[in-house]
Amino acid sequence: MKNFKLFVVLFVIFAISLFATKVIIFHINDTHGHAWTFSEYHNPNIGGFAVIASIIDEERAKNPNVLFLHAGDINTGVPESDLLNALPDIFALNRMKLDAMAVGNHEFDKTRDVLMYQMDIAKFPFLSANIYKDGKPFFKPYIIKNVGGVKIAIFGLTTEETAILEPLYSRDLEFRNAIEVAKEIVPGLRKKADIVVALTHLGMGQAYEGNYTTSEELAKMVDGIDIIIDGHSHTKLEKAKVINNTIVVQAWEWGKIVGKLELDVENGKIENWNWTPIPVNLKVYKGKDEDGNSIYEFVGKEYKPTEYVKVPLDYFAKIGSEKLDTIIGETKILLDGERAHVRSGDTNLGHIITDAMLWKTGADIAFQNGGGIRASVEPGKITIRNILTVLPFGNTVYVMKMTGEQVMKVLEYAATIPEGKGAWLHVGGLVWKSEGGKVTEVMVNGKPLEMDKVYTIVTNNYMAGGGDGYSVLSENKASGYDTGFVLADVVVEYIQKALKGMIENYDDTPRYIRK
């Protein structure tokens, strides 16, 4: 009897493989300018679009039924890309035949004309069904692709948090609730297509719960979505999630992995599926050999870059590289800008940035959001490229006047920010404490904060405009002015002049203590 049951199972699997259409969906997200191969500590020469192209091409050679999707945030993170408004990234993705990209919050990092330029040069659509302007969708809401006879509807959703994260260049847009929009659009797509895919930049996990829709909530609350391919939270998954019969996946960050979703589709339905996170030349450090050379072991297969993507990217990398590689100093220590650290506490790099703002302007207090700090600086020579990688947004330094009472309101808001959010506050000239979300102590340059006293505040123009929810700063914006100093340039100047080009140690004593 057992043998008979096994035979039946094997026969069903064989029948499905014989008659089903094999569809492969590759996906990446939150690449943030990492079009080129890059290195991390004990993990050299990883990622890169030319290598990702090789992974996808290997499958396309066996099966033409391949989709390639990007779940948003193509912008901001690598100087060569930032200086050219992501032209290298889009050029490469065009060659890689990207089918669609979700609109991420960082697509609003620059002025609207830059976004329109990017959409114009892209040979793939920017998708978002929940961003409206004057009562109409601002982006293409969805597309339908015929893949080997299987009709696949792909619709985009963008985090509602964009209105808070990127207010400077999105004020004229309405970010509608993703769940409500999905409930409106999915029934119609089910009638038009066999499979419905939500290509989302929503994020997953506790850090994104609350006022903004997560991909898990979308799956739970909206019936009829077969697959959610997500971005925004830089989540590293070992296996796919299944919520309310919906497959939910995300591919970490920066093209370090490529998600591969394999579907067996029969009569318009997914009969079998498998999801694999493919490492893009990631390695495990195994120590040093007798000559002191580092030894690495590949995690999975080693892939070679494709020339048709690598060659043009190499050309783009040369543009402006001479200026970017200018050495401005040296650090003997790691300047910590790791995402998890700057969004949950103080670091020496956060202190350097706020101290540089105080040094340049002579202000009493400096405010910097953790989400604006995008990378660490490894021990060794410091280049302009390093600083632009840390501070890639092109923010300028903004000075304003605020009373102690208004400063307290800023801190009261910051005390409510959960760990992991970009709104996490870094300060200069200030030491403060909170307990249970309530501010308990504030010292300004060694003296208690005076509610009636007027202080000079320095911040970046993003926060001054109300970015990351700092509305108190935007309400006081008229009391000050934009200096026009680019924050990255200020940090460069601070390292060169105030620190004399050498960092052997830097105070990392917490300026904010939370209980």
pLDDT at 11 over 70: no
Cβ neighbours of residue 241 closer than 8 Å, sequence gap 6 or more: 204, 216, 219, 247, 248, 249
Tell me the CATH number at 44.
3.60.21.10
Are both 83 and 191 inside the same structural domain? Answer: yes
The DSSP secondary-structure symbol of 109 reads S
CA–CA dist 200, 225 (Å, integer): 12
Cβ neighbours of residue 362 closer than 8 Å, sequence gap 6 or more: 456
**pLDDT for the residue numbered 5:** 58
Share above pLDDT 70 across residues of the chain, in percent, rounded to a whole number? 96
Residue 11 lies in a domain: no
Are both 281 and 428 inside the same structural domain? Answer: no
Are both 421 and 310 inside the same structural domain? Answer: no
**pLDDT for the residue numbered 14:** 53
The CA distances from residue 89 to 49, 95, 254, 324, 410, in Å, are 8, 10, 12, 18, 37
Share above pLDDT 90 across residues of the chain, in percent, rounded to a whole number? 85
Residue 220 lies in a domain: yes
User: What is the mean pLDDT of the segment spanning 217-229?
Assistant: 98
The more confidently predicted of residues 175 and 209 is 175
**Mean pLDDT of all residues belonging to the chain:** 93
Interval 456-502: pLDDT, tens: 999 999 999 999 999 999 999 989 888 888 899 899 999 999 999 99
Q: Which of 299, 317, 335 is the last residue of a domain?
A: 317
Residue 181 lies in a domain: yes
CA–CA dist 55, 306 (Å, integer): 9
Are both 359 and 486 inside the same structural domain? Answer: yes
The more confidently predicted of residues 17 and 232 is 232
pLDDT at 209 over 70: no
Beta pairing, strands 481-486 & 380-383: unpaired
Residues 69 and 99: beta-carbon distance below 8 Å: yes
- Listed as own residue / partner, the contacts of 182-190 with beta carbons closer than 8 Å and 24 or more positions apart are 182/129, 182/155, 182/157, 182/218, 182/222, 182/225, 183/221, 183/222, 185/129, 185/141, 185/142, 185/155, 186/155, 186/222, 186/223, 186/224, 186/225, 187/224, 189/142, 189/144, 189/153, 189/155, 189/224, 190/224
Interval 381-393: pLDDT, tens: 999 999 999 999 9
The CA distances from residue 59 to 14, 81, 154, 343, in Å, are 21, 28, 21, 38
Residue 78 lies in a domain: yes
Residue 1 lies in a domain: no
Q: By residue range, what is the domain housing residue 459?
A: 326-514
The owner of tokens 């579907």 is: 263
Residue 178 lies in a domain: yes
Interval 142-163: pLDDT, tens: 999 999 999 999 999 999 989 9
Interval 56-112: pLDDT, tens: 999 999 999 999 999 999 998 888 898 899 999 999 999 999 999 999 999 998 889
Are both 109 and 136 inside the same structural domain? Answer: yes
